[in-house]
Structure 1
Amino acid sequence: MSPNAQGLLNESMAWMDTFYDSELGYLYDVEGGAALRHETRSSAWYALGLLARNDSTEAEHIITNIIGAQFKDPSRQWYGDYQKYPEEPEVGTAAYPASIYNSWDPNWRGFIGTMFVVMLEEFSDLISEAVQELMLESLFNATMGDSYRVGGVDDDNLYPSYSNPVRSFPWRDREDSVPCTDPRKALMRAFVSGWTGRRLGDQNMTDAGEHYAQEIVDLFVRHNTLSEFNSGTYTGVSIFGLLLWCKYLPAGDSVMSEYGPKMLRDTWSAVAQLWHPGMRNMAGPWDRAYGYDMNRYVSLMALWMWTLVGKEQSSLIKKPQVMSHSADWAWSPLMAVLADYHATLLPDGLLDSLTRFGGEHTFEAQAYYPPYDYAPRNITTWLSENVTIGAESYKETVIGGPSTSQESFNPTVVQWTTGSEIAFLSLYPTERSLDVQVTPWRLDLSYPEGNASSIFTLVVSAFADGRTVHGWEDVKGISVNVSGNVNATHSLSFAGQMGGRSKPLRDFEYWNFTYVMPDGFRGLPQLSLEFSR
């Protein structure tokens, strides 16, 4: 491995070593607070790291445990999936009802299945024939179970194509219907099906993976962007999925190996324009984020950055385990294993753009995530030395974007340096549609479907020095001038760990500036923010 990849593997494995229960053959839950319960998915990642350290005995111990607890009843919706933790009661019983994404998570077929493929491809010489056979059988069951997934049916949100007979969505009969999918889940689903089908000589399984991959490609090439755009976490998952497409499927015999390299380069080209090396953040907007500053939470993109430009140039601090969302550090072994191959596929000049800010510029793109988007989202981001402003216009079927999460969907993001930290401002989504205009130092927002009851809620940094904010004049590091047809008087509250009107979002404390419309208002609600330093 390169020094960066080796460093990532060594540090992350030293951390996970402290969670390993060698008697049971699982990791304790790396998030903590689980009263010594264990956890399956991070154990699979740890097993890969063990193989990278030539420890096949403990790796096989974990692998056989995970496979032994795999759900094997074909009559169940969760067939082929994996237990979330070994102490878990039987899913689907009266005492423990099946609840998708809670008592069982269909995505774990992909997460653990892809780990098994990487293990078999990279370290088969360390795995016994008997355990390899178990892994292949497990992959067959996971792939068959994954074929049960139909978006809009049984609360599943993985949409393989518009051809499914789902009637509950307004996009069903639109003329511009195209295949649609959650990129991170779909990339893994297509890959595992295509790889397992080839390995086991199952042509139907192979064809299913190829068909699904073609739908993903067709959607991507509309705008050369991932449907879920610019996520510090999930762009990292998508990069992992694309690397699997590129590395482990035969050239000339798969749409995945054909298009994977281009999709990977296009994704990194967008990241390179949005990554701010000085702030060590991806400028907004973020379709789904687990925090407002990558220097304070563990993001998968930071792990990829570590492998490419070193830990010091990433957004990870010296001890990532104390950052928010630290459980994602357990992804590190797979990124370390793939790092050197990954580096061979990157666009020219990428590493320089990840380490040196190239100067003030504006980035524009479109992204499309059916069935939730009525039309492509229009993205504009302006980046300068100390301030970034990014926003997207959208018209969607739900509030909160495709993840239906008001907390993680950040359609408008401003970040700036205060001298000691990265501060932020984000629009908390309360409407299904938004129009934006981003220009240097200015952000204009309007609600095309808004009315007198509309509100603009701005989530603004709490500052490390504990400074109390009484109004915009107390916001550190930047001046904000607010205009528009809103009521000029805003409400202000604090969301704190120990008190305030609200609780933190994604562990981040914040100040809530909310603007309402004046009495008797008619028209389209508009809010403008002008910034200066």
Structure 2
Amino acid sequence: MKPMSEEQQFLLAQSMSMMDAIYDERAAMLWNEEDGDRESHSTRASAHYAVGLLMRGGPGDRERACEVLHRVMDMQFDDPEEIYYGTFRTSPEAKVPPKGHFPWKSFGPGFSYYLTSTLERIADKLSGELAAVAGRDKVQSAFESAAASILPPVWASYDPNWREFIACAFAIILEHFESYLPEAVVSRMDLAMERAVIGSVERRLSDAIPMNTNIELMHLFICDYFGHRLHRAEWIAHADSFAEQFRKSFSEFGTFAEFNSSTYYGVDLTVLGFIRNYGQSSEVRRMGSEVESGLWDNIGLFYHAGLENLCGPYSRGYEMEMTAHSSLGVFLYLALGESCKHLTGVNCETSHDPLIALAGVNVPSHIVSALRSFGGERLVRKQYRELCERDDPQANSHLCTATAWLGEHLMIGAMWGSRNTSGQLHPATMHWQSEDGERYSMRMVRRETGGQWSKHMRGIVTNAEAENDKLSIQVEFTTDKLIELVFEISGSAPFAAEITGRRWRLPGLTLHVTAEAPQPIVDAAGDRLEIIYTYLPASENEQMRFVLERVLASESAP
């Protein structure tokens, strides 16, 4: 391994300090860093910890890494007939998914969509018919529980993506540290990787569970890397063919389905760095080089150096701030140095930092200035083809248009054309900074009453457009569920706001609001404010429309 730069050393030291503190010696695994009560461990983070231990190479680190690697491999599913073959339990505390009831290899491509949608319709019908007897929620929960005991529900009983994540970590370990490891560990790792890649290829070819972009890139990398390592010509040919498909798809608009997401861009850049450094095939490296450069072009368009954030809209995302649930700030630090060190604060992605330090960064020279300083007001328009992972595989990729307006202290993001059911889609967003330097954000989300915004939900379509100081939104409802449409406003500290029907006075921003919608309910709690519009099923109003326009200081008087 080459000598590390000051930035790489900092990332390794910071992440290892975090991971050392949550290491459970008895389990030889990390506690789940998102689990404050330490009730479960994290298989993926433990694999990342093994990478960091070997990079640090201190007293006892190699021995601990071997213990961790063995424990991670204990978590692998090894029945080749199951849909989860080769992936890993997310933690030793996770339930083992049911087996022996699901001959998934005998079904055609895309069967997962039809199975899932059929179960959803049965649950809806059953809960509706028995609602008066037992309560709709209880009936639906009982049905879902019964189905999950027979058919292994993806994401609930297993995570297919752990194949690719852990395989990437293992590839890096074998590339740099094979000679430091006992032969028994290396042999067991190679066997685990054979299972993982077989399962990953079967998943891809069957389209049983669609792959989002970051998983597609990891899939390409591990097929290429382990195909050459384990002398599997069919994996090498698969990687080359799929790399060319991916490259052509990306070149249509210079974008991919995982569009404008600070969370997943961090993973994408990590894997593209692996391909740049460790890719074996010229076809795979060619694809990686073109996509990595194009991804930085997209980041340069949507990144606001003054607000230190990626402007919306987001095809997938958890948080509005780039420093939360994201590694993108880590890449900016590697690219720009000390001036961006504050963007590397510890978050739930920090266990990836040893891998990122090895992947490095390769920002095109023409993008660097856009990352260093705000280049002036601009309106951005960009198209991409989305992936609706829970839709009909014959019609799950729609052409979407993102618009973003970036001003000196305000930026607005909007999405038109998406039909994605995922709650991670953020089709209407704002970020701004007040005169005292505090930063705020707003996003529009939807949820069932009493539910969570992040869940998949059918029957709600949002189209939005951004202009100079203006955000226009229209929402269509075709669902029989009680829905709350929520404008969620967050700040860096508790704040006061004045919300009326036509004007929202927020710290640092006043908006004139035109709303074709029911009267809202305003709910404030600490540093978060919700403006809630409720959709009532079977009502005559199946649409809501909003226009939010910034009121300039000279116009802000009542």
TM-score by length of 2: 0.78
- Change in Cα spacing, 1:338 to 1:347, as seen in structure 2 (3 Å) is same
Name the counterpart of 2:406: 383
Give the match for residue 75 of structure 2: 69
Residue 546 of structure 2: SS of its match in structure 1?
Answer: strand
Match of 1:459 in 2: 488
Q: 1:119 to 1:449 in 2, by over 3 A?
A: same
What amino acid does structure 1 have at the position aligned with 2:488?
Answer: V
**In structure 2, C-alpha distance between the alignment counterparts of 1:58 and 1:522, rounded to whole Å:** 61
Matched, 1:41 2:41: no
Amino acid at match of 1:58: R
Give the conservation status (yes or no) of the 8 Å contact 1:305–1:311.
no
Instruction: Quote how far apart the aligned CAs of 1:261 are.
Output: 0.7
CA–CA distance in structure 1, aligned partners of residues 314 and 291 of structure 2: 19
2:318 to 269, 285, 290: 290
1:423 paired residue number: 440
User: Judging changes above 3 Å, is the alpha-carbon distance between structure 1 residues 429 and 520 closer, same or farther for their aligned structure 2 residues?
Assistant: closer
- Aligned residue for 2:252, secondary structure, equals coil
Residue type at the aligned position of 2:34: E
Per the alignment, residue 209 of structure 2 pairs with: 157
2:546 pairs with 1:527: yes
Q: Which residue of 1 aligns with 2:383?
A: 366
1:186 partnered with 2:203: no
Give the equivalent residue in structure 1 for 2:132.
none
Match of 2:505 in 1: 474
| Helix, strand or coil at the partner of 1:211 | helix
Residue 493 of structure 1: aligned partner: 522
Tell me which residue corresponds to 2:31.
Answer: 28
Residue 465 of structure 1 deviates from its aligned partner by: 3.3
8 Å CA contact 2:495–2:507 kept in 1: the answer is: no
Deviations 1:18-61 (CA, angstroms, capped at 9, x unpaired): 11123432112222334453221101001101111123221122
Q: 1:84 aligns with which of 87, 90, 96?
A: 90
AA at the equivalent of 2:432: W
Do the aligned partners of 1:492 and 1:514 also contact (CA within 8 Å) in 2? yes
Q: What's the counterpart of residue 14 of structure 1? A: 17
Alpha-carbon distance change, 83 to 455 in structure 1, aligned in 2, over 3 angstroms: closer
C-alpha deviation, 1:330, in angstroms: 1.1
Encode CA deviations 1:430-487: one digit per residue, 9 max, x unaligned: 8654443322111222357889x99864223367234254434431111111226x15
What is the alpha-carbon distance in structure 1 between the residues aligned to residue 400 and residue 342 of structure 2?
A: 28
**TM-aligned CA distance change 1:61 to 1:515, over 3 Å:** closer
Structure 1 stretch displaced more, 356-365 or 40-49:
356-365
Out of 305, 311, 326, the position equivalent to 1:277 is: 305
Distance (whole Å) between structure 1 residues aligned to residue 321 and residue 79 of structure 2: 43
Residue in structure 2 matching 1:205, options 231, 235, 258: 235
**Paired residue for 1:138, among 189, 192, 197?**
192
RMSD: 3.1
Instruction: Provide the C-alpha distance between the structure 1 equivalents of 2:309 and 2:405, rounded to a whole number of angstroms.
Output: 14
CA distance in 2, matches of 1:307, 1:480: 38
**8 Å CA contact retained: 2:476, 2:542:** no
Farther off after superposition, 114-123 or 87-96: 87-96
> Counterpart of 1:351?
368
Give the residue type in structure 2 aligned to 1:443. Answer: L
Measure, in 2, the Cα distance between the counterparts of 1:69 and 1:463.
Answer: 39
**Is 1:413 the counterpart of 2:436 in the alignment?**
no
1:363, CA displacement in angstroms? 1.8
1:385 Cα deviation from its structure 2 partner = 1.1
Q: Which moved further from structure 2: 207-216 or 306-315?
A: 306-315
Structure 2 residue identity aligned to 1:390: G
2:49–2:351: 8 Å Cα contact kept in structure 1?
yes
Distance (whole Å) between structure 2 residues aligned to residue 423 and residue 89 of structure 1: 40
Which residue does 2:352 correspond to in 1? Answer: 331
Query: What is residue 296 of structure 2 aligned with on the other side?
Result: 268
Gaps of 5+ in 1: 159-180, 498-507
Which residue number corresponds to residue 174 of structure 1? none
Give the distance between the partners of 2:64 and 2:304, measured in 1 at CA. 41
Alpha-carbon offset, residue 3 of structure 1: 1.2
Paired letter, 1:85: S
Instruction: Give 1:394's aligned residue.
Output: 417
Deviates more, 1:64-73 or 1:276-285: 64-73
- Contact preservation (8 Å) 2:477, 2:542: no
What displacement does 1:222 show? 1.4
Quick one: which amino acid aligns to residue 148 of structure 1? Answer: E
Q: What's the offset of the Cα at 1:65?
A: 1.9
Choose the corresponding residue for 2:261, options 231, 237, 242. 231
Distance in 1, Cα, partners of 2:88 & 2:220: 18
Q: How far apart are the structure 2 equivalents of 1:464 and 1:87?
A: 36
User: How far, CA to CA, are the matches of 1:510 and 1:394 in structure 2?
Assistant: 28
Look up the equivalent residue of 1:70 and give its one-letter code. Q
Aligned pairs for 1:159-174 (under 5 A) are none
Q: Which residue of 2 aligns with 1:125?
A: 179
State the alpha-carbon separation in 2 of the partners of residues 522 and 21 from structure 1: 55
Q: Which residue does 1:222 correspond to in 2?
A: 252
Q: Deviations over 1:288-337 (max 9, x none)?
A: 12112235x241212222322246526637xx34xxxx321111111112
Contact in 2 for aligned 1:194/1:209 (Cα 8 Å): yes
More helix by share: 2
Distance 1:102 1:395 in 2: 25
- Once the two structures are overlaid, the 10-residue window that deviates more, 355-364 or 259-268, is 355-364
Aligned positions of 1:498-517 closer than 5 A:
509-514=528-533
Matched residues in 2 for 1:515 and 1:141: separation? Answer: 48
CA 426–121 in structure 1, closer or farther in 2 if over 3 Å, else same: same
CA contact (8 A) 2:246 2:287 kept: no
User: What's the CA shift string for 1:199-248, capped at 9, x where partnerless?
Assistant: 11111122222233333223211111121111111111111222222222
Q: Distance in 1 between matches of 2:27 and 2:430?
A: 47
**SS in structure 2 at match of 1:416:** strand
1:300 correspondence with 2:300? no
Map 1:252-263 onto structure 2 (within 5 A).
Answer: 253-263=281-291
**Structure 2 letter corresponding to 1:492:** I
Distance, in Å, in 2 between the alignment partners of 1:35 and 1:96 is 26
Per-residue CA deviations over 1:414-439 (Å, capped at 9, x if unaligned) read: 11102342212222258654443322
Q: What code does the residue aligned with 1:461 have?
A: S
Secondary structure, in 3 states, of the residue corresponding to 1:104? Answer: coil
- Match of 2:163? 109
Q: Deviations over 1:104-130 (max 9, x none)?
A: 211000000010001111222322333
Question: Aligned AA for 1:355?
Answer: R
Q: Residue 427 of structure 2 contacts residue 463 of structure 2 at CA under 8 Å; is this kept in 1? A: no
1:150 deviates by: 5.5
Identity %: 25
TM-score where L is the length of structure 1: 0.81
